[in-house]
Structure 1
């Protein structure tokens, strides 16, 4: 449950982006969805850019929480498997993944979103490098493999969200792509 009015509005921002993309987002659409005045939205988020930043921060926080759960697994191969599974969305209605894809595209043209995207991507890559190196004992090849996994995850995410492959199939593909080489 959202802790503040701004958190509640951010949840509405994420829902709008998930349903309509970044182009469907406006202060008015968030106000209508939240059943509040435009002024109430502008009090917390004076511009569309502020709405986007809040949504990006929240999606990053939600993703970080998912990954912290994966890190609670005790053995390195188990952690790697859990992290790989989290890189593929739960299904076509996964709001966090849908917003992530929208931000991925916007990262190409928006320097601020691009910086956040690159930071998150690099943190994920670093975690994968560590886990792949520890699991396979292939530290010298782990950086290349981690970049390949993230590129594959991006493609699988789009395909799961588009409904061209199922989430379980996407998770099997990403897990096999790593573990088939390591055993």
Structure 2
């Protein structure tokens, strides 16, 4: 028996997941279907189910996909720059990022009646906070950041960034002001040059 390789498997999966973001952002989780995805992507329902099995599996993978990509600008060995790159994900200055946050908000709402989705979101949130926590600790060790309570600071930064992202959805006219507030979140914990201990 000859098995055919999946044609452009990663490209197809990315295309479907990105359209899933758009559909759920626009219609909510309940309003999205494999049929509407097929129509929007130009793929057959069979092709989509071949890659994702069913709507549930697609939703779970879409949530994970949105969290697992490493942000551009992330730089090993530079904690402040990497923190700024993470905070930039909360900047809704592009349509793609705005759509993802609309998707995320719809999924958070849906998760209030779905324990499995809520658990996945909680795990992804803890992972995101963990990335901030690791970088804050790294920044303290390197002398870039003040000696702060690392877990509490990470939780606070993530909560503040989420608030600024949601505020951009609520009031797009204030986008520019709100986006400028993101890098400023690091100001209270950054060391001034004169405060750094020479190594």
- Determine whether 1:65 maps to 2:70: yes
SS at match of 2:19: helix
Greater helix fraction, Structure 1 or Structure 2 = 1
CA distance in structure 2 between the partners assigned to 1:75 and 1:47 by the alignment: 41
1:110 correspondence with 2:123 = no
Contact 1:92-1:161 within 8 A present in 2 as well: no
CA distance in 2, matches of 1:153, 1:45: 32
Which residue is equivalent to 2:23? Answer: 16
The offset of 1:4, in angstroms, is: 4.7
Residue 174 of structure 2: aligned partner: 165
Query: Once superposed, which parts of structure 1, at least 4 consecutive aligned residues long, lie more than 4 Å away?
Result: none
TM norm structure 1: 0.77
Matched residue, 1:87:
90
Structure 2: gaps (5+ residues):
1-7, 192-199
For 1:33-182, list aligned pairs within 5 A.
Answer: 33-61=40-68, 64-66=69-71, 69-72=72-75, 74-91=77-94, 93-94=96-97, 95-133=99-137, 134=140, 135-139=144-148, 141-162=149-170, 163-166=172-175, 168-182=176-190
Match of 2:32 among 25, 44, 48: 25
Task: Report the structure number with the largest CA radius of gyration.
Answer: 2
Inter-partner Cα distance in structure 2 for 1:18 and 1:131: 31
Give the gaps of 5 or more residues in structure 1.
none
C-alpha root-mean-square deviation of aligned residues, in Å?
2.7
- In the alignment, what sits opposite 2:194? none
- Contact 2:146–2:189 under 8 Å retained in 1: no
